Chains A and B, each alone.
Chain A
């Protein structure tokens, strides 16, 4: 439709564009600019060129953070997707009981990260926790879920899976309901059992949904911060210092704006690469819906 006046569309977009300029685009530019300075927020900033990038790359810290965050993401994405799909298939049944279980699982996605993180610190406490008591009862060795550098990252991934599996489940349920019942009936008449029906009917139609869930939860897992800050503080021995926590640490503990900004710029570039994946998934999903 034609706008009544040529300026109208821009007046309508104006407030939003102003907010995004101020809080998205300008800060992005500022981060790139600040990353070229050494600044502790107390004395004057000193121009250092790319020294901040060189420092985080050469000390190996950048690669460790990146590797940790990617590893964490792989655990979270595979865990929450596998569980989410299994639960969607299991719970896509009529009746109040199944509706209750669906609601219970999804509720964890809605509740505050703070509540979830605090709750799991208690459950996994090496002395007072239920998990430790269960290990003792089964005569299994004691595990320092949050204190063993080899276990802590996996533990945080597990808690994150518990929190966001409801999201994957809900999206998969929506995908399952878009599969025409007639296809299932036709396959049944042809003698296909439940496994074969999943393999040849459900899964091909669910693939675009799976791609969508994979990329959105990848990006969510890349933003993990609350579980780190509340459950481990990045430890033990930096084993759980994920990307966003590393940026936070640089500004608020090391008072190093330049290093923090350099990390934020790298983080943004990595997110862009992941976003390219997401866009491709979106595209294949819309194609899938039309098919």
Chain B
């Protein structure tokens, strides 16, 4: 996010921006502060701005209550599998829609746009019934396969391919390259920025997703980290806010690190100008 304007900021913008920063940063700070407080401090003075005796006990407790590493592994594996599948399927589909002439192309494109408009929230009841009939709830497949084809990803790959000149493809064909080679070996590297954005946006979304794993899992087999952390605050947990917030920190840190590294790509992906 670079800013093109060159005027020096005045005092008022600085003050307003500081207020905005406080509104968005202080809640995170509170999450960390609370996670470092011992239980008795939370019970006695829950709004004290700093812990008197900061301690990491809450984190130890999260690791005891929740198999953090396993849930994290499942979350990352699901998100990576979805991202990889989406790219693998979106590339040939986007290529056909952007570059090839064939009967039925308009219909195919209309189907992609139609899928763009049907969120998982509409279909989850039926998909859940399908998977439970096949005894596939609580499996990796139930978490990954429904998202294998991304309408948005296909759409963005198609848009990006429209600006790649046909001559590149014609030259490759003359050299005897197969269509698969053209798609995955020649065009994919040219689309790198788009593919990185599509992958990252998809990864962040599915890593954090709560809705789909909640619906598709009933036991521990493929539970993801957001579900495991949300379970820390089920009825009966009382005032153990330091543990819940420690879980929150553990859940958020991977995404925030990724965000710090790849902010530019995420912003481009999200702003729809990939």
A-side residues, CB < 8 A to B, are 1-4, 6, 8-13, 15-17, 19-20, 23-24, 26-28, 30-31, 34, 87, 90-95, 97-115, 118-123, 125, 127-130, 133, 162, 166-167, 170-171, 173-174, 177, 181, 212, 219, 223, 225-226, 229-230, 244, 247-248, 251-252, 257, 260-261, 264, 267-268, 271-272, 275, 278
Contact = CB atoms under 8 A, between A and B. Distances in A.
B139 interface: no
The secondary structure that dominates the B interface is: helix
Interface of B: 1-7, 9, 13-14, 16-17, 20-21, 23-25, 27-28, 30-31, 34, 42, 46-47, 89-90, 92-93, 95-97, 99-102, 105, 108, 111-112, 115, 117-119, 121-130, 145-146, 148-149, 151, 154, 166, 169-170, 173, 179, 183, 204, 207-208, 210-211, 214-215, 226-227, 229-230, 233, 239, 241, 244-245, 247-248, 251-252, 255-256, 259, 263, 266-267, 270-273
A229 B230 CA distance: 10
A93 B102 contact: no
Contact of A177 (B4, B230, B248): B4
Given A13-B93, A127-B46, A27 B130 contact: yes
A11 B179 CA distance: 11
Interface centre among A9, A10, A102, A271 (most CB of B within 10 A): A9
A264 B95 CA distance: 34
A128 B42 contact: yes
A115 B259 CA distance: 15
Contact of A120 (B27, B111, B119): B27
Interface centre among A16, A110, A174, A251 (most CB of B within 10 A): A16
Contacts of B117: 271-272, 275, 278
A276 to B, nearest CB: 9
Contacts, number: 273
B239 to A, nearest CB: 7
Contacts of A248: 215
B5 A92 contact: yes
A19 B126 contact: no
B170 A1 contact: yes
Contacts of A173: 1, 271
A177 B1 CA distance: 10
B115 A98 contact: no
Contacts of B204: 110
Nearest to A6: B102
A15 to B, nearest CB: 5
Contacts of B105: 9
B93 A12 contact: yes
8 contacts: A1-B169, A13-B97, A24-B123, A112-B208, A119-B28, A122-B30, A230-B230, A264-B125
A13 B21 contact: no
Contact of B123 (A1, A2, A10, A27): A27
B1 to A, nearest CB: 5
A274 to B, nearest CB: 9
Contacts of B226: 112-115
A3 B95 CA distance: 11
B146 A107 contact: no
Contacts of B121: 223, 225, 244, 247, 267
A19 B149 contact: yes
A221 to B, nearest CB: 12
Contacts of B95: 12
A257 B92 contact: no
A84 to B, nearest CB: 11
A252 B125 CA distance: 10
Contacts of B119: 219, 223, 271
Contacts of A99: 1-3
Given A106-B267, A107-B256, 16 more contacts: A2-B101, A10-B102, A15-B89, A19-B149, A20-B111, A23-B145, A34-B125, A101-B20, A104-B24, A114-B208, A114-B227, A118-B233, A119-B31, A177-B4, A264-B126, A268-B122
B20 A87 contact: yes
B233 A20 contact: no
A264 B118 CA distance: 11
A248 B102 CA distance: 42
A1 B166 contact: yes
Contacts of B252: 111-112, 115
A268 B123 CA distance: 9
Contacts of B13: 90, 93
B9 A98 contact: yes
Given A19-B149, A107-B24, A115-B229, A24 B17 contact: no
Given A114-B229, A251-B125, A171 B102 contact: no
A66 B172 CA distance: 54
Contact of B267 (A20, A91, A170): A170
A101 B21 contact: yes
